Structure 1
Amino acid sequence: MPGVRAEGGYAVVPTQIIYPGEEVADHLLELVEVTNPNIAGGYAQSKSQVVGMVSKRTLLPGRTIPLSSVREPFAVKRGSSLRLTFTLGTMTISAAGSPLTDASVGDVIKVRNLDSGAIVSGTVMADGTVQVMAK
């Protein structure tokens, strides 16, 4: 393909400082050609790899974005209100709960049942609920 360097390719770099905890937005990024043959791998090569993610550390303008320096946004926030569900066979029980930590989808967290005050463990689901584990 003309115009594409086989050994270099492209890298995504910020156009301004992105601070830890800040969401990486498309307008803060640009795609640049990699001209350094000795650059370490593991950096974002397309905007789709980092847009919508949250920075885990300060990202500087003009520097590559290591994929290890971004994470998925939290699905649940500490202290918020959410729905706890417990399923056993065809029976499902649900209750109001409040997570004790921020968490992403798939994380196992502790949640306080707002009705009983009991603290239970469960898995964060994609819909923002927590599936409680049987003891």
Structure 2
Amino acid sequence: MKYFPCSYGLLVLLFLVSSGTAFSTGSNLVDEQQIKVFLPQSSVINSDEYRLGEIAQLEGEDVLLLEKISQTVIGRSPLPGRKLTVTRSLILSRLRSQKINIKRFVFPGSESSSIQRAALKITGKDIDQVVLKHIRESNKNEDLKPRLLAKTRDVFLPRGQVSYVITSKGKYKKDGGYRNYEVEFSIDGEAVRIVTVRTYLKLYKEVFIARDTIRRNQIIEESDLLKVRKNVDRLPREYVTDKDQLIGKISKRTINPSEAIRGNTVSAPPLVKSGDRLQIVFETPFLRLSAPGISMAKGRKGERIPVKNLDSKIVVFATVQTRNVVQVN
């Protein structure tokens, strides 16, 4: 019987070669099934949501799967100008929710990436200047000095055609003073952001003040008045800029020297005084009656006062028409 000592070595060599070939073939099959996800250090997003294909480079042999996962929404984009970190675990979680086998995915490079929303930057300084210009153009005939109460922060807007509208916010009882303005920004015709700008408007006008003390029930004459340029944003709104609204009127209270005279502190003098003789008139489209009377109280034009009919001795209420005529309604 003959022995072949070298045959065992040959068999071992053949086994190793065949096994290596088999292992190599198995490894290639695994590589073909793998999907490689390469995350860049950073990327820029234009839309409200971001997809995997927008933030990563995908490699693999399964074309249909690559197309599907490239359109998979990973999340909402950050606000314009802001950043967000996307991690490997977040991506795999979103793929798993789409019933995709995540064991096929590998991340050869970085396992996280920073994304930023594409934006147009509008500086706060530009916004402030636009609002101040709007105030001046809206009050061209006014002696006005607007100022900002606080600096506006920079604003980041989505990309597109930018337009804006400036409006005054709130209702104010005074001229000048504190004012809030809203700047509404629109992108391609759609409103996206409102910025509030706080201002103070210092307004100057020529108003009338008392030259000396004007006593209660005193008839105001032109010599009692003095015209001065005054900051009216701190004055009540009833200040007077036309002297004809004051001359001949009666002060309702004592007005101190240099005090700005307000319209509600004066009144028209009475046309009729208590005890004045006058005509009491009753009038319709087809009839007019009159009788002599005497006023029992003072009254201005349009006021109702008691008057006594001298013929019948009856007291009635009538409206003052002129100095000598009252009308019974």
Give the structure 1 partner of residue 326 of structure 2: 130
Q: Which residue of 264, 283, 287 corresponds with 1:87?
A: 283
Q: Which residue of 234, 237, 248 corresponds with 1:52?
A: 248
Calculate the aligned-residue CA RMSD, in Å: 1.6
TM-superposed deviation, 1:89 = 3.2
**Residue 234 (structure 2) pairs with residue 38 (structure 1):** yes
Of the two structures, which has the highest relative contact order with CA contacts closer than 8 Å and spacing of 6 or more? 1
Q: Which residue of 5, 8, 27 corresponds with 2:204?
A: 8
Structure 1 distance, partners of 2:300, 2:207, is: 27
Give the structure 2 partner of residue 23 of structure 1: 219
Give the structure 2 partner of residue 75 of structure 1: 271
**C-alpha contact (below 8 Å) 2:204/2:229 kept by paired residues:** yes
Structure 2 distance, partners of 1:47, 1:89, is: 40
Structure 2 distance, partners of 1:125, 1:53, is: 18
The letter for the 2-side match of 1:5 is: D
Q: Deviations over 1:67-109 (max 9, x none)?
A: 1110011011111111111113332111111111111111112
* Count of aligned pairs between the two proteins: 130
TM-superposed deviation, 1:16 = 1.3
Q: Deviations over 1:27-72 (max 9, x none)?
A: 1111001036423321112211211111000011101011111001
Q: Which has the larger radius of gyration?
A: 2
**C-alpha contact (below 8 Å) 2:306/2:317 kept by paired residues:** yes
Q: Which residue of 297, 306, 322 corresponds with 1:110?
A: 306
Identity over the aligned pairs, expressed in percent? 28
Structure 2 distance, partners of 1:127, 1:36, is: 38
Structure 2: give runs of 5+ residues left out of the alignment: 1-141, 145-202
Structure 2 distance, partners of 1:36, 1:53, is: 23
Shift of the 36–124 alpha-carbon distance from structure 1 to 2, 3 Å rule, reads closer
TM-superposed deviation, 1:15 = 0.9
The letter for the 2-side match of 1:81 is: R
Q: Does the residue aligned with 1:42 lie in a helix, a strand or coil?
A: coil
Structure 2 length as normaliser, TM-score?
Answer: 0.38
Q: Does the residue aligned with 2:292 lie in a helix, a strand or coil?
A: strand
The letter for the 2-side match of 1:51 is: I
Structure 2 distance, partners of 1:88, 1:72, is: 29
Structure 1: give runs of 5+ residues left out of the alignment: none
**C-alpha contact (below 8 Å) 1:112/1:120 kept by paired residues:** yes
Give the structure 1 partner of residue 293 of structure 2: 97
The letter for the 2-side match of 1:114 is: L
More displaced stretch, 124-133 vs 23-32: 124-133
Structure 1 distance, partners of 2:287, 2:318, is: 17
Structure 2 distance, partners of 1:30, 1:21, is: 19
**C-alpha contact (below 8 Å) 1:31/1:46 kept by paired residues:** no
